Amino acid sequence: MIGMTSVPADAEVLTIGELSERSGVPASALRFYERQGLISSERTSGNQRRYNRATLRRVAFIRASQRVGVPLADIGGVLAMLEGAAPTREFWVQASSCWSDILDARIKQLQRMRDLFTECIGCGCLSFEQCELINPGDKLGRNGSGAPRLMPGRAGRLPDGDEDVVVAHLPDRCDTAEASGM
């Protein structure tokens, strides 16, 4: 980057610019993560942020989790169990197993959305209210407004007898800390 100095790999404390450079995450996102309690910093006498080197691993964990679709609230819940420490490989494995139900539900929901959109586009009407192929007689209208087949957490049965896709959420406390000895 222009105007930035190279950060020694063994630096124990990083400025926000250095953390951004090393992690590839914009400083604005790092400030957002800090406001959300996902990472923390110390302040200098001039009120500048200084991050512990372990924050690099926390940021990597946040970004990897986000890429697979895990909500920030769930990421924060798991990171809270680390009490400021950097995630270890064992921790990543445990977090992954905790989130497998969430990810499986998300995959199922995305597959359903793909299939429904394919059917709808094939029909050409693009209306869940009027479409006789997907929603004969507007049976989905019983579930209220919106697109209940595509919206997570909506109760009820679909006209074809399938259960609605319900997106799972991470439990209040995953056994990650216990299983990894944290």
C-alpha span between 50 and 11 (Å, rounded) = 11
**Is residue 99 classed as helix, strand or coil in its secondary structure?**
helix
Residue 25: pLDDT over 90:
yes
Choose among 64, 105, 81: nearest CA to 172: 81
**Beta-bridge mates of residue 97:** none
Calculate what percentage of the chain has a pLDDT beyond 70: 58
pLDDT at position 150 is: 62
In the chain, CATH 1.10.1660.10 covers: 13-87
- Average pLDDT on 25-30 reads 96
Which position has the token pair 């890429």?
Answer: 67
Residue 43: pLDDT over 50:
yes
pLDDT in tens, 170-181: 444 454 444 444
- Strands 13-14 and 49-52 turn out to be antiparallel
C-alpha span between 95 and 91 (Å, rounded) = 6
Which position has the token pair 């957002």?
Answer: 32
CA 177 to chain centre: 20
- Fold assignment, 13-87: Multidrug-efflux Transporter Regulator; Chain: A; Domain 2 (1.10.1660)
Choose among 147, 164, 167: nearest CA to 156: 164
